[in-house]
Amino acid sequence: MTDSTTPLTAGAPQPVQQRGLALIRDPLLNKGTAFTENERAALGLRGLVPPPVVSMDDQVTRIMQNVHRQHSDLDRYTYLETLHDRNETLYYRVLLSHINELTPIIYTPVVGLACSQFSQIYQRSRGMYFSADAVEHFAEMANNWPEDDVEVIVVTDGSRILGLGDLGANGMGIPIGKLSLYVVGAGLHPRGTLPILLDMGTNNQALRDDPLYLGRRIPRLTGPAYDTVVEAFMRAIRARWPKALVQFEDFSNDQAFQLLERYRRQLLCFNDDIQGTGAVTLAGILSALRITGQTLSEQRIVFLGAGAAARGIADTIVAGMMAESGISLDAARRQIWTLDSQGLVTLDRLDSLSEHKRPFAQNSAPLPNLLAVVEAVQPTVLIGVSGQAGSFSEAVIREMHRHCERPILFPLSNPTSKSECTAEQAYEWTNGAALFASGSPFPPVTRGGHLLVPGQCNNMYIFPGVGQGVVSCQASKVTDAMFYVAARTLAELVGEDSLAVGRLYPDLTLIREISVKIAVAVCELAFAEGLAGIERPANLEAFIRARMFIPEYQSYVAA
């Protein structure tokens, strides 16, 4: 097996066990039409591929021509996943070469549509499925996976896929997509990644009635039955891969917080919806404040939505306020107002509130809706994590702008169809003054001859670099401080030219350099706090770069 820390550009020919069709059918080894004449002769490939030896660049050109021939984004997603299944090196080369165009296809927003139809477009198994009716076999199942050096596992139970809700086993598209971003963004080796779906059933009746649905057709497990399955799963993967980083993804609010709290002290894990979203949002706000010239602790922040994402963002902002100005935890929390389906979260509702909402309950009279809160609070920052399309109405945004010269507007709900407002609306209703970032991408807007470039508050800026840092230094745990330093690092990488057009995040084409800087910052923190499991390398950045997978073909025989 290829060492998961070895780049594919190693100089000496790499030994392979497979020959002939078996080699072509291994997506991690297949080169397709790029096998050299010597490789074709030595590895039994003559006659099994077309005669010309094709360069990787020409292969990329052919792939992109076929991408552009597809009739819809879902067709493009399916075509790229077909490439993923047959030639991973080429797949990642294509993604890196066309990252701005293709990232929205392989992840948000198109992955939401792909998940909604996952059972219909399913072609080939990728990753693992741990079903609640097979708990006694979990250890055996983990041992069925052929790779010993798994570094990162992304797991979901499909209960809250983006803004689409319970998609059950169809949620497998999320771990697959996230791990593709780990490879593209931070150079994790594909062999060291493992997507997993915990099949707990589904409360989506339409899926249970669908004859093509690939999950268990039972109501979703809850309570002790659910906890038993998760515990068995965690034991099995900890025994098989004791050093692997586990990323919880798209779990419903009732599970996301308790799973993170239960396991974060037992093994290497984090929740990207809580911690990753918090870090990338804080980074965008810090960038916006470079434009306004204000401090974080001066901000009045309103959230529409009070779930996992809201809590994660709010906690990260609070940590930032405390670090910046030294204000108390309680004082920082009083700068944040949250709304749920009942209106403003207030102290007089404390007995009926979920645990994760209580720290941000305000000592305020009840306020029934977002407009009423904006009128009363006069916020400088408005963050949407509600999944309610259009909920940042013209009346709300104009009222906010009436009290705030440069409103910071972050409608973060995914996919695009769930966004609280569009970039064009935000700019129109604030006369171009809004500082805007969204969960799914929006195109640039020209207003009065001035180009305005919306930011995408994309977790891809954060979690690949954090993950690379954690596994590179073999950290013993993932801390909130790691996400805070990641946020500050990301904000510092936004150039003045980007800020001049309102862009709050760096260009995504720089993602590997961004991830290296974040990984270094995370490692430095781990070494400083005694959490690293290795001795500090003399050149930490060079050490991390040397670990990164580069999507270029390796030689299997001497030239």
Q: What is the mean pLDDT of residues 97-102?
A: 97
- Cis ω for the linkage preceding 104 (within 30 of 0): no
Q: Is the pLDDT of residue 30 over 70?
A: yes
Q: What is the pLDDT of residue 216?
A: 97
Q: What is the pLDDT of residue 10?
A: 39
- CA 96/CA 89 separation, integer angstroms: 11
Angle between the 463-472 and 511-528 helix axes, to the nearest 10 degrees? Answer: 50
Which residues are registered as beta bridge partners of 248?
155, 271
- Where are the domains positioned within the chain? 55-267, 275-457, 461-547
| E runs forming strands in 276-398 | 301-304, 336-340, 343-344, 381-384
User: Percent of the chain beyond pLDDT 70?
Assistant: 98
Spatial CB neighbours of 234, under 8 Å, sequence gap ≥ 6: 246, 263, 266, 267
Q: Which residues of 510-536 are buried (b: 16+ CB within 10 A; e: fewer)?
A: ebbebbbbbbbbbbbbbbeeebbeeee
- Look at the domain 275-457 and name its fold: Rossmann fold (3.40.50)
Q: What is the pLDDT of residue 8?
A: 40
Which contiguous run of DSSP H or E holds residue 409?
Answer: strand 408-411
Q: Which residue type is seen at 301?
A: I
**Quick check: 421 and 453 in contact, CB under 8 A?**
no
CATH number of 55-267: 3.40.50.10380
Question: Dihedrals φ, ψ of 162, to 5°?
Answer: 50, -130
Q: Is the pLDDT of residue 7 over 80?
A: no
| Both structure tokens of 107 | 């992840």
Q: How many CA atoms lie within 13 A of 300 on its CB side?
A: 14
- Look at the domain 461-547 and name its fold: Rossmann fold (3.40.50)
Q: Across all residues in the chain, what is the average pLDDT? A: 95
Quote the DSSP letter at residue 109.
T
- CA 85/CA 94 separation, integer angstroms: 14
Q: What is the pLDDT of residue 448?
A: 87
For 215-238, the pLDDT digits (tens) are 999 999 999 999 999 999 999 999
Q: Is the pLDDT of residue 35 over 80?
A: yes
Q: What is the pLDDT of residue 15?
A: 86
- CA 409/CA 433 separation, integer angstroms: 10
Quote the DSSP letter at residue 130.
E
Q: What is the mean pLDDT of residues 388-399?
A: 97
**Quick check: 215 and 202 in contact, CB under 8 A?**
yes
For 285-294, the pLDDT digits (tens) are 999 999 999 9
**Quick check: 470 and 526 in contact, CB under 8 A?**
yes
Q: Do 275-457 and 461-547 agree at the fold level?
A: yes
C-alpha dihedral sign at 513, 514, 516, 521: positive
Q: What is the pLDDT of residue 163?
A: 83
Of 10-14, 222-226, 542-546, minimum mean pLDDT range: 10-14
pLDDT bracket for residue 125 (50, 70, 90): very high
C-alpha dihedral sign at 548, 551, 552, 556: positive
Spatial CB neighbours of 495, under 8 Å, sequence gap ≥ 6: 506
For 424-464, the pLDDT digits (tens) are 999 999 999 999 999 989 999 999 899 999 999 999 999 99
Q: Is the pLDDT of residue 3 over 50?
A: no
Q: Is the pLDDT of residue 409 over 60?
A: yes
Q: What is the pLDDT of residue 491?
A: 97
Q: What is the mean pLDDT of residues 120-132?
A: 96
Q: What is the pLDDT of residue 9?
A: 41
Residues annotated as catalytic are: 107, 178
Strands of the 455-456 sheet, one edge to the other:
343-344, 336-340, 301-304, 381-384, 408-411, 435-438, 455-456
Q: What is the pLDDT of residue 4?
A: 36
Q: Is the pLDDT of residue 538 over 70?
A: yes
C-alpha dihedral sign at 270, 273, 275, 279: positive
Strands of the 152-156 sheet, one edge to the other:
128-131, 193-199, 152-156, 245-248, 269-271
Of 68-77, 188-197, 306-315, minimum mean pLDDT range: 306-315
For 228-271, the pLDDT digits (tens) are 999 999 999 999 999 999 999 999 988 999 999 999 998 999 99
**Quick check: 306 and 359 in contact, CB under 8 A?**
no
Spatial CB neighbours of 325, under 8 Å, sequence gap ≥ 6: 295, 296, 297
| Both structure tokens of 188 | 């994790």
Q: What is the mean pLDDT of residues 123-136?
A: 96
In this structure, are strands 343-344 and 336-340 parallel, antiparallel, or unpaired? antiparallel
Q: Is the pLDDT of residue 176 over 80?
A: yes
| Both structure tokens of 279 | 């870090």
Q: What is the pLDDT of residue 5?
A: 36
Q: What is the pLDDT of residue 159?
A: 98
Q: Is the pLDDT of residue 11 over 80?
A: no
Give the global pTM: 0.94
Question: Dihedrals φ, ψ of 446, to 5°?
Answer: -105, 125
